[in-house]
Structure 1
Amino acid sequence: MATWTCIQGCGACCHLDLSERPDIQEYLSAEEFERYLSLIGPDGWCIHFDHDERKCSIYAERPGFCRVTPETFKRLYGIDPDDLNEFAISCCREQIDAVYGNRSLEGLKFEQAIGLDLG
C-alpha cells in the first residue's frame, strides 16, 4: 500500500494560482482566504517559495492551511483521519500533474517516495 509523504524539491503545493484552485475559498475561513491571497506572487507561486532551493522559506511558520495533518484536513475538507493517506496522495498527484505535467520528474519522484512500484 502506498503511504503519503512530502518530497523535497517538489513545491507543487506552493503554486497557489487561483485558476488552478477555483474552490479554495470554500474551504478557508475569510481570514485564511485573505492570508492565502496575500501569499500569491505575480507568477502564481507563493511568495515564500524559494525557487532555487525549491522549498518553503518559512516552513516552520507556514500557515495551518499549508500543513498536511489529520486536524487540518478534517477541518478544511472533512476528511476522516483514516482517509487522509489516500486523500493526500490524490491531492499531490493532481497538483503535481497540474504544475509540472503528467510523467514529470517530480511526479515520478513522488510515486517512488510513496512506495509505488514503477518498475
Structure 2
Amino acid sequence: MNQWRCIENCGACCNLDPSDRPDLEQYLTQEELTLYLSMVGEDGWCINYNHEQRRCNIYDDRPRFCRVKPDIFEQMYDIPLEEFEEFAIDCCHQQIEAVYGEESEEMERYISQVG
C-alpha cells in the first residue's frame, strides 16, 4: 500500500481559490471558514505561501484545515483511519493536476515519491 507524503517544492494545496471548493461550509466551522477566506489572496493563492521558496511561511502554526493527518481527516471529512492514505493520495493527485497539470514536474515528482 502506498503511503501519503507531502512533496517539497509543490504547494498545490496552497491554491485556496474558494470557487474550486464550493463545499467549504460543510467541513469548516464558521471560525475556520472566516480564517480560510482571510487567507485567500487576490490570485487565489494563500497569502502565507512563499512563491519564490515554494513553501508555507506559517507551516508550524498553520490551521487545522491545512494539516493532512489521519485524525484531522476523520474529524473534518469522516474518512475512516484505514482509508486515510488512499484518500489523501487521491486529494493531492487531484489538486496537483488542477493547479499544475497532469504532465507537470510536480506531478512527476509526486508519482515517483508516492505512487
The TM-score by the shorter chain falls in which range? over 0.9
Over the matched positions of the two proteins, sequence identity in percent amounts to 50
Partner of 2:26: 26
Q: What letter corresponds to residue 33 of structure 1 in structure 2? A: L
How do 1:73-112 residues align onto structure 2 when only pairs under 5 Å count? Answer: 73-112=73-112
Kindly indicate whether residue 88 of structure 2 is the aligned counterpart of residue 69 of structure 1: no
Q: Counterpart of 1:111 in structure 2: which amino acid? A: I
If the length of structure 1 is used for normalisation, what is the TM-score? 0.94
Q: Which residue of 2 is the match for residue 51 of structure 1?
A: 51
Counterpart position of 1:7? 7
TM-superposed CA distance for 1:86, in Å, is 0.1
Q: Which residue of 2 aligns with 1:42?
A: 42
Give me the whole-angstrom Cα distance separating, in 1, the residues matched to 2:106 and 2:25: 27
Shift of 1:71: 1.4
TM-score (norm 2): 0.97
**Where does structure 1 lack aligned partners over 5 or more consecutive residues?**
none
The alpha carbon displacement at 1:105 in A equals: 0.7
**Residues in 2 aligned to 1:93 and 1:30: alpha-carbon distance in whole angstroms:** 28
Which amino acid counterpart does residue 78 of structure 2 have in structure 1? Answer: G
C-alpha distance in 1, partners of 2:8/2:81?
A: 24
Query: How many residue pairs align between the two structures?
Result: 115
SS class of match (1:73): helix
Query: Runs in 1 of length 4+ with deviation above 6 angstroms?
Result: none
